[in-house]
A and B are shown apart, each in its own frame.
Chain A
Amino acid sequence: MNNSGFIGKYGFFSSIVVAIIGVGIFSLPGELAKSVGNDGWLVSILDGLICLLLLYIIYKIMSKNNYDTFYNILIRNFGKVIGKIVAFIFSIYLIISISTGMRVFSEVLKMYLLEKTPTEFITLTMILCGYYLIRGSLTNLVRFNEVAFWIMFIPIFIVLIFAAYDADFSNVFPILNSSPVNYFQAISLSSFSFGGIGIIFLMLPALKNKSDYKKSAIMAVTFITIFYVVINVLCIASSSSPQVGKLLWPTIAMVKSISIPGGFIEGLEGSVMALWVIFYFTFFTNGLYFSSDLIKDIFGLEDIKISSYLVIPFIYLIALLPRDIGELYGIIEGVFPILFFTCLIFFPLILLLIIKLKKKVAATDEA
């Protein structure tokens, strides 16, 4: 039914990577160190494996439905009313994830880059920029992801090399020191960092050669996993895990501790912070596009520009809702894992079940 497509292999790969890696990297090492001590990197690998499983489930769902858009698949399998409710919950999940990310981003920016600027201003400017990109079609979003990938990852790997220079890797040992319950807890806590995987529902129908999906998606998830593992290991290597567990944003502390001998730049975290603007921006715009797209289909609006007018005020409100960082992380750690499991594990599994049942019914009908 839907055989038009324009996203190439690299576009798909870069879109998934930049849509998932957002502000999660700041707090991820700290959260993991609190639960599992030195094994944060193991948990990241486990997260990656779970994502690979999710990739397979999503692939099955989409291919059995002829690569139709996500909304149409929900309507077809759940019926109109429940389909709309499910889509609505999905877009609420996206909106909450980008709004809380927005608040984390503004707090980080205020603390390390612009101390006197009001949060409202930072939020507003970011939303306006994101809206400018959303006004174009999906083509422009994917093109932006393709270019942003290079701008994001080449400088960050240079910075990470400098971080590795000073690090003491013996801090990572001993490994496998915590009980299995802690690992499960850690996986649910780190769901914030992998939450953007739902973007595949948006991108897969627009992929040019559907056979490219396997290779590109697996490479994307592998890349993200390796990135998170490297960040975890470097954070723990720079400052051992009890210390990392106490810090709010250990990644930034690690960058702060980098000193380039004979280097020109003293406070590296100021410049790397500017880089992190793009990390959050891509996470924000991809999430905003997907949620506006769903809202447009749910309410039958004509254009994504109109539906984003509806979404944007909620993002602004939710971003400014928590009173301080404590409340913010309370929301993230409390609400988010539930939403993640519902939207990205529960709903797809039910969808898969319904599709399998439909097939069985169709087969028995024919027989």
Chain B
Amino acid sequence: MKENINDNISDEAQINLDYLKELLKDNSDIIFREFYISNWKGVLIYIDGMTDKILLDDYVLETLMVMGDKVDKVTDIKERLLTVTDVKEFSSMADGVKYALSGDCIIFIDGLKVCYVLGTRTWNARGVTEPSSETVVRGARESFTETIRFNTVLVRRKIRDTRFKLELKSYGIRSKTDVAIMYIDDIVNKEVLKELRARLEKVNIDAILDSGYIEQIIEDNKWTPFPQIQSTERPDVVAAGLYEGRIAILVDNSPFALIVPAALPVFFQSPDDYYQRWFTSSIVRIIRFTAILLSLLLPSLYIAISSFHTEIIPIKLAYSIAASRVGVPFPAFVETLIMELSLAFLLEAVVRLPRPIGSTIGIVGGLIIGQAAVSAGIVSPIMIIIVSITAITNFVVPNYEVSSALRVIRILLIILSSIIGLYGIMLGGIIVLIHLIKLESFGIPYLSPLVNPDISDFKDLFIRMPMCFFKKRPVYLKTGDKIRQK
């Protein structure tokens, strides 16, 4: 799978030119320019469309060709004649070719056994827009784009500390995708950093197309519906994660950054929890947790109570549920499954459809089909209410992967409750709890800070205490520098 590139650079530019013309043949967008710098022959190679031609014309070729006689030795060209700021020198042909294929331009000159790589990358990039999935009420509205350099700048603007580190490496044998690791040196948990580097070493795939590829290769446990790495489109979430001692991974061509390690509380937090006042944020957090409990338990509780334990609810409610279920041919369990299935179909269709049709389908599916189903006697009205509350509360979770995981658990609880009622729901809850307890993310238990608790970590879990209580960084992340403010 590895490419076969002759690594030597000859000191005759013509030989290098012939070799590269052979290596990169059948590519009509690669430009080879031969020129003379006083008496030395030079060769310039770049890809049309990915390179800044104005820089090459005005600042490289013009100076080299016109002012060539100002230098005596060929080795002085780089320091006295090449009027470009970003110049790298490589003695390996493979490195040079890689940069050429990334949009930089390489120069071979007679008499030099190295190639010069000029930083001339430029292409049409999408501008910085609002994030599509993590909208906030108050806070910045920037999101990452597909170019890694612009993304690192968005994060750098929020961290101007000399201890901020940015390490760039390529992964993917054919794609040679740039992947950047960012962390703050004296805050980060060094164990997690070591573990991350070890796992990235093992990446041995031909192409990395998106950060999702990296996430799936380095995660702890692939056999779980819960994500163990946080992915985000927002630079302020990345910066906040770095300040907590976590490590961010940016992948070229992907607007989603990865943050490790990630524990469950992270998936229930939204950035504007911290930008609004503590009172509003605490109420929103409590609503979020109640919504999650409701979304998990409501359908299964309905099945358990209406099928097994009717004595739990007041008699009037029991009668009204029974009355609304008159004429419905299916038992509560089948009703629930029908509604869950139709909800899943609806949601998937709405995501894939183009925008104007998508919102129409929402109204059509939700109101009309639901109402028609009730009139046709397939489901009972109370089932429609339960499914709508479930659907709404399911998406109160700010993270899409976690809400998908919650859907899976909801179906598990529905099945268990239809077999053994309330006992089944409890056992299902216990099984899910055991599963979550066994999960770890880069050495940090997934249910931190509920597990190995430290009292100060509860300032940010179910409510958000005022800023003056945020004196320590999260204890469960075992950071280097533990104090945030005095």
Contact = CB atoms under 8 A, between A and B. Distances in A.
B452 A11 contact: yes
Contacts of A8: 452-453
A125 B422 CA distance: 14
A113 interface: yes
A140 B437 contact: yes
Nearest to B304: A274
Given A122-B423, A125-B420, A274-B426, A132 B314 contact: no
Interface string B100-124: 0000000000000000000000000
B442 to A, nearest CB: 16
B421 interface: yes
Contacts of B426: 274-275, 277-278
Given A129-B427, A136-B438, A270 B433 contact: no
Given A129-B430, A132-B431, A146 B438 contact: no
B438 A147 contact: no
A152 B5 CA distance: 66
Interface stretch (B195-203, B327-335, B365-373, B443-451): B443-451
Interface residues of A, number: 34
A271 interface: yes
Contact of A113 (B309, B314, B452): B309
B452 A266 contact: no
B1 interface: no
A301 interface: no
The A interface, classified by DSSP as helix, strand, loop or mixed, is helix
Contacts of A143: 437, 445, 447, 451-452
Given A113-B423, A278-B426, A264 B452 contact: no
A150 B449 CA distance: 13
A267 B305 CA distance: 11
Interface in A226-285: 264-267, 270-271, 273-275, 277-278, 281
B79 interface: no
A10 interface: yes
Contacts of A277: 423, 426-427, 430
B315 A147 contact: no
B308 interface: yes
A63 interface: no
B437 A114 contact: no
A129 B431 contact: yes
B425 interface: yes
A266 B447 contact: no
Contacts of B29: none
A117 interface: yes
Given A113-B309, A136-B438, A274-B423, A146 B450 contact: yes
Contacts of B86: none
B423 A109 contact: yes
A11 B434 CA distance: 16
Contacts of B311: 266-267, 270
A186 B425 CA distance: 37
A133 interface: yes
A223 interface: no
B313 interface: yes
B312 interface: yes
A267 B308 contact: no
Interface in A190-245: none
A270 B453 contact: no
Given A125-B427, A143-B437, A281-B430, A267 B452 contact: no
Given A144-B433, A147-B433, A117 B420 contact: yes
Interface string A1-16: 0000000101100000
Interface residues of B, number: 26
B430 A140 contact: no
Interface string B409-442: 0000000000011110111001101100110000
Given A11-B452, A143-B445, A147-B450, A271 B422 contact: yes
B431 A113 contact: no
A358 B427 CA distance: 49
Contact of A270 (B309, B430, B451): B309
A122 B314 CA distance: 27
A147 B430 contact: no
A275 B426 CA distance: 8
A147 B447 contact: yes
B422 A274 contact: yes
Interface string A124-155: 01100100110010001001101110100000
A186 B298 CA distance: 44
A264 B311 CA distance: 12
A113 B420 CA distance: 10
A264 B447 contact: no
Nearest to B436: A147
Contact of A264 (B313, B315, B433, B437): B313
Contacts of B445: 143
A266 B452 CA distance: 37
Nearest to B313: A266
Contacts of A129: 427, 430-431, 434
B160 to A, nearest CB: 37
A274 B425 contact: yes
A146 B421 contact: no
Interface in A1-44: 8, 10-11
Contacts of B430: 129, 277-278, 281
A113 B417 CA distance: 13
A256 B313 CA distance: 14
B308 to A, nearest CB: 7
Contact of B421 (A11, A114, A133, A144): A114
Given A265-B313, A266-B311, A114 B420 contact: yes
A278 B422 CA distance: 12
B214 to A, nearest CB: 28
Q: Counting chain A CB atoms within 10 Å of each CB, which of B421, B427, B445, B447 scores highest? A: B427
Given A265-B312, A270-B309, 9 more contacts: A11-B452, A114-B420, A132-B431, A136-B434, A136-B437, A140-B438, A144-B433, A144-B437, A267-B309
3 nearest CB pairs, A to B:
A277-B426, A143-B451, A267-B311
26 contacts: A113-B309, A121-B420, A125-B423, A129-B427, A129-B430, A132-B431, A133-B434, A140-B434, A143-B437, A143-B445, A143-B452, A144-B433, A146-B452, A146-B453, A150-B450, A265-B312, A266-B312, A266-B315, A270-B312, A271-B312, A274-B423, A274-B426, A275-B426, A277-B426, A277-B430, A281-B430
Interface of B: 308-309, 311-315, 420-423, 425-427, 430-431, 433-434, 437-438, 445, 447, 450-453
